[in-house]
Amino acid sequence: MQSSTKKSASASAQDYALLRGIACDVATSAAEMIRVRRAEVFASPGGRDSDSVRSKTSETDPVTIVDVESETLVRESLARLRPGDGFLGEEATGNTEGASETGVVWVVDPIDGTVNFMYGVPAYAVSIAAQIDGKTVAGAVVDVPQGWVYSAALGAGATVSREGFGTRALHVSETESLGMALVSTGFGYKAERRIAQARLAGTLLPVVRDLRRIGAAALDLCLVAAGSLDAHVEHGLNPWDFAAGSLIAQEAGALVRIPPTSARSHEGELVLIATPKVYHELAGVLEEIGALGPIE
Ligand code: IPD
Ligand code: CA
Ligand code: CA
């Protein structure tokens, strides 16, 4: 692996399988650490008000000490296992994405669903994707409270596994119409963005089976992959929210529309991931209201 162009020309299924295994192992280790640290830091409700939490892009956008610890563990583990790869982590503890010597860049959300994590709502995850030329080729999402490991490699399908439960292949649902679709969405951390998102949710609610707001986009995408949801639609996600989950959903048969890895939340671009028939109908509704492109 010399340069990103050379690498992408020669990358093989074997390389992707190797990267997938590393993503699974490292995300599983981070999830174990997060479980232990949650009990230590957030066991009492007072943990939420302590100096273990600070705000990021708005007062309601938190980062906890455990988000930073998780990212550090992931970054250091990857550096040990894959020296020379680039790293793009949400908490920016040591990003080197522009300086990959191998063509591989790891895109990492150390805790997706931080608000759930703080409050003890059991829906938060570690998300790790390996990208080559901005395209995810392998990824893993570990559901921390349940211990489920979702993963995929490009062209190799998607699976979910858990110790003691074995491994099974993931397939999207066979839901055929938007009217019968269970659709998840999410909301950004800024009030202006939420006004536009609420308007969109108001348009969708009467035309779908129901809406869900689980609070961890990486998990939403894995649930689409597993057929437990029929679609996910959200504007303004960051690449670390969807990099691994979008490949997992795609490999499970979903149609996928995602922004480039260079796009950031403030640009308000759309992530639309759904089982095929629902995808087309949902895209039609979004087009009608001008929401296939970015929102404010
Ligand atoms: C958030 C979650 C949430 C989504 C937000 C994301 P974080 O990530 O994925 O479901 O609606 O847009 O920012 O902040 O918990 O890593
Ligand atoms: Ca996230
Ligand atoms: Ca996060």
- φ, ψ for residue 207, nearest 5 deg: -110, 5
CA of 9 to the centre of ligand 1 (A): 34
Distance of alpha carbon 275 from alpha carbon 290, whole angstroms: 22
Which ligand 1 atom is nearest residue 90's CA?
16
Give residue 78's pLDDT.
98
CA of 102 to the centre of ligand 1 (A): 30
Q: Which of 206, 243, 228, 239 is nearest to 274 (CA)?
A: 228
β-strands 270-274, 231-235: how paired?
Answer: antiparallel
Give residue 48's pLDDT.
78
Mutate to test the pocket of ligand 1, among 117, 241, 242 (most ligand atoms within 8 A of CB): 241
Residue ranges matching CATH 3.40.190.80 in the chain: 178-289
3-class secondary structure for 119-152?
A: HCCCCCEEEEEEEECCEEEEEEEEECCCCEEEEE
Which ligand 1 atom is nearest residue 220's CA?
10
Residues with Cβ within 8 Å of residue 47, at least 6 apart in sequence? 41, 53, 118
Q: Which of 148, 131, 149, 151 is nearest to 139 (CA)?
A: 151
Find the length of the chain: 296
Q: Which of 146, 152, 223, 237 is nearest to 189 (CA)?
A: 237
**What tokens were used for 180?**
């019968």
Q: Judge whether residue 50 has pLDDT over 80.
A: no
Annotated binding-site residue numbers for Mg(2+): 90, 109, 111-112, 241
CA 58 to centroid of chain Cα atoms: 21
Ligand 1-lining residues (CB < 6 angstroms): 109, 112-114, 186-188, 215-217, 234, 237, 241
Residue ranges matching CATH 3.30.540.10 in the chain: 13-44+58-169
- The CATH superfamily label for domain 13-44+58-169 reads Fructose-1,6-Bisphosphatase, subunit A, domain 1 (3.30.540.10)
Question: Nearest residue CA, atom 16 of ligand 1?
Answer: 112
Q: Which of 26, 150, 155, 152 is nearest to 85 (CA)?
A: 26
* pLDDT one-digit tens code per residue, 147-168: 999 999 999 999 999 999 999 9
If you average pLDDT over residues 37-49, what whole number do you get? 83
pTM: 0.95
**What tokens were used for 122?**
């059991």
Q: Judge whether residue 10 has pLDDT over 50.
A: yes
Q: What percent of the chain has pLDDT over 90?
A: 88
CA of 76 to the centre of ligand 3 (A): 18
Residues with Cβ within 8 Å of residue 249, at least 6 apart in sequence? 158, 172, 221, 222, 224, 225, 232, 256, 273
**What tokens were used for 83?**
């020296």
Mutate to test the pocket of ligand 1, among 68, 237, 269 (most ligand atoms within 8 A of CB): 237
Distance of alpha carbon 69 from alpha carbon 34, whole angstroms: 9
CA of 61 to the centre of ligand 3 (A): 10
CA of 48 to the centre of ligand 3 (A): 16
Task: Choose the weakest-confidence range: 57-61, 120-124, 225-229, 250-254.
Answer: 57-61
Q: Which of 133, 81, 80, 77 is nearest to 108 (CA)?
A: 77
Identify the CATH class of 178-289. Answer: alpha beta
* pLDDT one-digit tens code per residue, 248-296: 999 999 999 999 999 999 999 999 999 999 999 999 999 999 999 999 8
Instruction: Determine how many CB atoms are found less than 10 A away from the CB of residue 180.
Output: 13
Q: What percent of the chain has pLDDT over 70?
A: 96
Annotated binding-site residue numbers: 90, 109, 111-112, 241
**What tokens were used for 211?**
């809406």
Give residue 4's pLDDT.
44
Mutate to test the pocket of ligand 1, among 112, 232, 271 (most ligand atoms within 8 A of CB): 112
CA of 122 to the centre of ligand 3 (A): 15
Task: Choose the weakest-confidence range: 49-63, 92-106, 173-187, 241-255.
Answer: 49-63
